[in-house]
A and B are shown apart, each in its own frame.
Chain A
């Protein structure tokens, strides 16, 4: 309740609440970072940021969604509802960092605007229905995340009371109810994204338990409310309907009743009874569960106040709730379902004294918390971050093995040797120690720069950075201006060390060799698919990643066209399983597959 707006109306409880929130985030990010660095030392900083923000945001969302129904089921959780707005905005910021990082990682520095790429990289797979069937297996999981992020943005952007007032409480609450839709979208984002790559059974188990807990709590709270409405059904008398017994309303307290199909609040103040709307003007909090403090009915959610006799907020505030006529017949309290004129004053109905309320403490965010509630909150403030840290540590430990590989980012060396443009762009380096064949790519998500064209079989030199994994090495030609074509290579220098092995049929995943060799870790699988599509579209040499029982980490075969023809395939097939037939050769130390047939595999 406010006369003029402040950015944040701070009070000690909000500060403590935000400290606990910080504790939860530090616990989540810290546990994920520490455990990942110990158990998966190959993880990159970018991947750590992506995973830490994703896990923290998704976990926070579960907490946010659980607080509402928990508070309906157990009043001790009401204080957690008080500052839930800060939880929501923080969760959105974490999700925003995750989304922005994913956009840069997987779509930037390519041949298409990153925003356009994010919404078009997968071609026909954006159609949820294809060929008369649901295309869930290959539908871009990112779409679910983008839609959820838009909803979170609208919620975070309208989280201030300015919006509550100017959109109107009903529209505002409806907009914020969309958080449940966003939650559903995120469950799909996780199911059709990370769960398609991560193999630990713990991940689906955690997802199912989380969703069951959130939806179960909401259903249980809804069931409790419905049961309560049925119990409150009543009898009518001359336009008045029986609401409750007078002795059910303790001094200074309220009782929620159901009259004329709506919920109203009956309050006792100085042994007089009053009936008011049960709906707080702020966010629709249940006034009947409130308490009279300083002569005003005080909402249990955020402490907004109203005078019992006229429903008005105390000056200088201007909010008003409707009041209702009531009468007493013996012990029975009757209420007329039609409200008085808004702001009309009434005396209240004298009632026999009632017992003092016992037991239950009442929490108001801007006042000092009662002892029992304070003790409960301190326990939550310790247990919650600790539980989050343990849970996230398990999540981090259960990650798939991180791909190996090295990207010497920022380390620039000069390389020279014989340039091969075909079958795939390579530099054949000859040194006193022998010869080696290094793949070539350009900066970002591009293949070798145009300067190499027309120099097949030429002795060249240029600057670049190394990317290597297992027996394969690539040079990122990140300084095309350094390229020099010196002379035609001598026949003994230009001889391509190609040793035929034979015809093979392989099933594997199409990867872009640059990411797979070390720029991205992981550089394969569905979560990397968009990046692989961008890289292949930009001209990075394609490879076939074949995993077998004896080689679960996989071997990459370079793919080239057969008999000098260009390799034909759709870049959208990146990250998907394909069946390939062709002639296998070993080019120096590099397995090279000259493709005769390449098609999508029924296995994937």
Chain B
């Protein structure tokens, strides 16, 4: 159906284009003597209208060939009363029709939040804070808090202010630093922002945290950490 409508519209405009060529060649001078000798830019300006309204001009051209009256505005003045009535009707219709339609549109606006909760359960209460790590660079605005719990468990909490815009960024925990992802590294989890992310870490007193983009195959940042004391849960030092 839509294809047919567009095809007919295309056909109409194609006929209009052919007509415009013929009209510029012969018809325009017959229909309107004012166009005789007019410049190329004038002809370009009126061409879209000729293509769109070619039946009107074709009618005028044919009547001119048969010497009928084809007068334009010089003999057919504006009817101010009729126009004023039409204007009053349109403005009144808009003044009455638009407010309820706009009000309905505002009332129909969808809620931004549709779910009370996401499908993934929240993280349990946090163990004690052990160490704060500041952002390694302005390009990587990630802060971290290392936390320790009973039995030497370790957690890391990442605070990320904005979308890092780094594809498949992963966090690894390595016993010692080295190029790329060092040997014996443990995959901690994928990293993205903004927000607060929490992960379990291996039970180590020191090590290196490496942020590595798996899609780009490059190290983005790293932190070396050392926790020289243990938490009260671990008996103190």
- Bound together, the chains give a CA A553 to CA B113 distance in angstroms of 10
Given that A168-B73, A173-B78 are known contacts, is A188 also in contact with B34, CB under 8 Å in the complex?
no
B115 touches A166 (CB 8 A): no
Q: Which residues of B contact A165 (CB under 8 A)?
A: 32, 34, 72-74
Q: For chain A residues 568-604, which have a beta carbon within 8 Å of chain B? A: 577, 584, 588-589, 591, 593, 601, 603-604
B73 touches A404 (CB 8 A): no
Query: Which of the listed residues B112, B166, B189 has the most CB atoms from chain A within 10 Å of its own CB?
Result: B112
Q: Which residues of A contact B184 (CB under 8 A)?
A: none
Q: Which residues of B contact A302 (CB under 8 A)?
A: none
Taking the complex as formed, is A235 at the interface, i.e. its CB lies under 8 A from any CB of chain B?
no
A3 touches B34 (CB 8 A): yes
Contact pick for A215, options B82, B91, B115, B185, CB 8 Å: B91
Q: How many A-B residue contacts, CB cutoff 8 Å?
A: 283
B34 touches A6 (CB 8 A): no
A431 touches B214 (CB 8 A): yes
- Bound together, the chains give a CA A354 to CA B3 distance in angstroms of 70
Q: Which residues of A contact B90 (CB under 8 A)?
A: 177, 180-181
A434 touches B187 (CB 8 A): yes
Given that A162-B35, A162-B46, A473-B167 are known contacts, is A184 also in contact with B115, CB under 8 Å in the complex?
no
Q: Which residues of B contact A169 (CB under 8 A)?
A: 73, 76-78
What 0/1 pattern do residues 254 to 267 of A give for CB contact below 8 A with B?
00000001110000
Contact pick for B194, options A181, A208, A553, CB 8 Å: A553
Q: Which residues of B contact A415 (CB under 8 A)?
A: 215
Q: Which residues of B contact A7 (CB under 8 A)?
A: 38-39, 41-42, 44-45
Q: Which residues of B contact A318 (CB under 8 A)?
A: 74
Contact pick for A468, options B80, B88, B120, B167, CB 8 Å: B167
Taking the complex as formed, is A167 at the interface, i.e. its CB lies under 8 A from any CB of chain B?
yes
Taking the complex as formed, is A454 at the interface, i.e. its CB lies under 8 A from any CB of chain B?
no
A6 touches B97 (CB 8 A): no
Stretch at the interface among A13-21, A97-105, A241-249, A500-508: A500-508
B193 touches A547 (CB 8 A): no
Q: Which residues of B contact A160 (CB under 8 A)?
A: 42, 45-46, 49
Taking the complex as formed, is A489 at the interface, i.e. its CB lies under 8 A from any CB of chain B?
no
- Bound together, the chains give a CA A601 to CA B111 distance in angstroms of 12
A400 to chain B, nearest CB (A): 9
Taking the complex as formed, is B168 at the interface, i.e. its CB lies under 8 A from any CB of chain A?
yes
Q: Interface size of B by Cβ–Cβ distance < 8 Å?
A: 89
Stretch at the interface among B50-58, B140-148, B151-159, B224-232: B50-58
B72 touches A168 (CB 8 A): yes
Q: Which residue of B lies closest to A550 (CB)?
A: B118
Given that A433-B212, A603-B114 are known contacts, is A506 also in contact with B119, CB under 8 Å in the complex?
yes
What 0/1 pattern do residues 267 to 302 of A give for CB contact below 8 A with B?
000000000011101111000000000000000000
Given that A215-B94, A279-B78, A470-B193 are known contacts, is A433 also in contact with B181, CB under 8 Å in the complex?
yes
What 0/1 pattern do residues 373 to 413 of A give for CB contact below 8 A with B?
00000000000000000000000000000001110000000
Q: Which residues of A contact B180 (CB under 8 A)?
A: 432-433
Q: Which residue of B lies closest to A208 (CB)?
A: B102
Q: Which residues of B contact A172 (CB under 8 A)?
A: 73
Q: For chain A residues 23-41, which have a beta carbon within 8 Å of chain B? A: none
Q: Which residues of A contact B101 (CB under 8 A)?
A: 136, 187-188, 191
A158 touches B73 (CB 8 A): no
Taking the complex as formed, is A479 at the interface, i.e. its CB lies under 8 A from any CB of chain B?
no
Taking the complex as formed, is A154 at the interface, i.e. its CB lies under 8 A from any CB of chain B?
yes
B163 touches A589 (CB 8 A): no
Q: Which residues of B contact A154 (CB under 8 A)?
A: 49, 52-53
Stretch at the interface among A53-61, A115-123, A358-366, A441-449: A115-123
Taking the complex as formed, is B65 at the interface, i.e. its CB lies under 8 A from any CB of chain A?
no
A6 touches B42 (CB 8 A): yes
Taking the complex as formed, is A164 at the interface, i.e. its CB lies under 8 A from any CB of chain B?
yes
Taking the complex as formed, is A12 at the interface, i.e. its CB lies under 8 A from any CB of chain B?
no
Q: Which residues of A contact B86 (CB under 8 A)?
A: 174, 177
A436 touches B32 (CB 8 A): no
Contact pick for A191, options B31, B78, B106, B215, CB 8 Å: B106
Q: Which residues of B contact A222 (CB under 8 A)?
A: 84, 87-88, 91
Chain A residues with CB under 8 Å of chain B are: 2-7, 113, 115-116, 119-120, 134, 136-137, 153-154, 156-158, 160, 162-170, 172-174, 177, 180-181, 183-184, 187-188, 191-192, 195-196, 199, 204, 207-208, 211, 215, 218-219, 222, 225, 261-263, 277-279, 281-284, 318-321, 404-406, 415, 429, 431-436, 438, 466, 468-473, 501, 504-509, 526, 546-553, 555, 557, 577, 584, 588-589, 591, 593, 601, 603-604
Q: List 25 A-B contacts (CB under 8 A).
A: A7-B39, A157-B53, A160-B46, A163-B49, A165-B72, A167-B72, A177-B83, A195-B106, A219-B91, A284-B77, A320-B74, A405-B163, A433-B185, A436-B168, A436-B170, A468-B165, A468-B215, A506-B115, A507-B115, A508-B114, A547-B112, A547-B113, A548-B118, A577-B114, A591-B120
Chain B residues with CB under 8 Å of chain A are: 2-3, 5-6, 31-32, 34-39, 41-42, 44-46, 48-49, 52-53, 56-57, 60, 72-74, 76-84, 86-88, 90-92, 94-95, 97-98, 101-102, 104-106, 108-120, 162-163, 165-170, 172, 180-181, 185, 187, 189-195, 212, 214-217
Pairs A-B, 10 closest by C-beta atoms: A404-B163, A284-B78, A504-B119, A589-B190, A191-B105, A157-B49, A7-B41, A470-B192, A471-B192, A468-B167
Other A-B pairs beyond A170-B83, A180-B91, 10, CB < 8 Å: A4-B37, A6-B39, A113-B3, A136-B105, A165-B32, A169-B73, A284-B80, A432-B180, A469-B163, A548-B115
